[in-house]
Amino acid sequence: MKINGQHYRTIWLAQDGWRVVVIDQTRLPFRFETVALGSSEQAADAIRNMVVRGAPLIGATAAYGVALAMRADASDTALDAALALLGATRPTAVNLRWALARMRRVVTPLAPAARVEAAYGEAAAICDEDVALCRAIGGHGLPLVREIAARKPAGQPVNILTHCNAGWIATVDWGTALAPIYLAHDAGIPVHVWVDETRPRNQGAALTAYELGAHGVPHTVITDNAGGHLMQRGQVDLVIVGTDRTTAAGDVANKIGTYLKALAAHDNGVPFYVALPSPTIDWSIRDGLRDIPIEERAGREVTHLAGLAEDGEVRAVRVVAPGSAVANPAFDVTPARLVTGLITERGVCAASSEGLAGLFPDLACGAAA
């Protein structure tokens, strides 16, 4: 999407044709800085430290991490080491495992001399495909917004709540949850987005607000605890969130707090949709609560908050009483029964085995029974 009128993807090749440039998302929204990754180790660090984040972008970065590894050493040993290093960075987003498995399938059969070009080509293909998948998600989600707009008084915006950041910054471009919102806005449908700040990393306040603002989409940042209150008062017409892993039966892992929004939406009759590209579906599992690994991140993310100080510097300050224990589960699981529907690149379906198999018979064939 565009920043100050200039189009960007979130990941691209440097002028030298081999380093991989990413936007440092830990610096947004106050600084727009890029980082050129020159090794699989640097790619792994970028994923682990959330310089890049968002399930599809994690997968894309890992794919290029394999290409960087092959450029340094195209041996089987180096390939296995890179796959292990990158695979160990973050446990929840299944796109990471999906991208690495795809890179392994493409690279392993090749002679070392052919591996670098093939790896870079496959990583580029993963990125191009993600752009197309997310644009298609936008197209399939747009009618949902249009239908609600048609039922509202002329000029009244469709009020959409979203959690965390599932925008173009979380993908290669377009985003997942925000893609229908961008298309609705661009089509002239009045929309307004309630942006959950999304503690502790504040991806909503820092990233979703940043990208919606850059695109001119009206939005209001709210505390994570305000969403239910707004739904009770009829101020939310629709909830659209992203996901890091959705099971073959439609259980949804997403940023911590998503489950609470789904409960509030269910209690208030607010449609709750999850937007996802098919690489975010884990066909090997059905029970999300039992089988999706939930990342536990460092306690410092809870005890400290980064922001722009009065002197213009970005600093972290402690917000928790010294000596208090903290816990930091980074995701939770929303059971399929609380999900109104899944917005995918092939259409909208029920959050169920039948719904997903109906859209993806080619992928569901090996799904967990």
Ligand X SMILES: CSC[C@H]1O[C@H](OP(=O)(O)O)[C@H](O)[C@@H]1O
Interface with ligand X (CB under 6 A) = 53-56, 164-166, 170-171, 176, 203, 241-242, 244, 254-255, 330
CB 74 → ligand X: shortest distance, Å?
30
* Rounded-to-integer distance, Cα 132 and Cα 172, Å: 10
- Other Cβ atoms less than 10 A from the Cβ of 116: the count is 19
* Rounded-to-integer distance, Cα 185 and Cα 18, Å: 36
H-helix segments, the chain: 40-48, 55-72, 76-87, 94-107, 112-150, 179-186, 203, 209-215, 227-232, 258-267, 288-291, 300-303, 353-359, 361-364
Answer yes or no: 244 catalytic. yes
Q: Is 203 annotated as a binding residue?
A: yes
Q: Determine the 3-state secondary structure of 352 from DSSP.
A: coil
Q: Is 90 annotated as a binding residue?
A: yes
Using alpha carbons, list the distances in angstroms from residue 267 to 3, 214, 274, 297. Answer: 38, 33, 17, 30
Residue 71 or 201: the one with the smaller Cβ distance to ligand X is 201
Residue 106 or 212: the one with the smaller Cβ distance to ligand X is 212
Residue 237 or 244: the one with the smaller Cβ distance to ligand X is 244
CB 254 → ligand X: shortest distance, Å?
5
Using alpha carbons, list the distances in angstroms from residue 354 to 237, 334, 350. Answer: 27, 18, 8
Q: Is 53 annotated as a binding residue?
A: yes
Contacts of 85 (CB under 8 A, 6+ apart): 40, 41, 44, 65
Q: Is 72 annotated as a binding residue?
A: no
CB 151 → ligand X: shortest distance, Å?
27
- The four Cα atoms 243, 244, 245, 251 give a dihedral, to 10 degrees, of -30
Exposed / middle / buried, residue 281 (Cβ in 10 Å: 0-12, 13-18, 19+): buried
Q: Is 156 annotated as a binding residue?
A: no
CB 131 → ligand X: shortest distance, Å?
13
Residue 26 or 353: the one with the smaller Cβ distance to ligand X is 26
Q: Determine the 3-state secondary structure of 26 from DSSP.
A: coil
CB 181 → ligand X: shortest distance, Å?
13
Of the residues 130, 244, 251, 282, only one is catalytic, namely 244
* Rounded-to-integer distance, Cα 191 and Cα 262, Å: 21
CB 234 → ligand X: shortest distance, Å?
25
Sign of the CA dihedral running 98, 101, 103, 106: negative
Q: Determine the 3-state secondary structure of 120 from DSSP.
A: helix
349 φ, ψ (degrees, to nearest 5):
-140, 170
CB 72 → ligand X: shortest distance, Å?
27
- Other Cβ atoms less than 10 A from the Cβ of 361: the count is 9
**Bridge partners (DSSP) listed for residue 7:** 2
Residue 53 or 215: the one with the smaller Cβ distance to ligand X is 53
Residue 30 amino acid letter: F
Q: Is 254 annotated as a binding residue?
A: yes
Q: What residues are labeled active site? A: 244
The binding site for substrate consists of: 53-55, 90, 203, 254-255
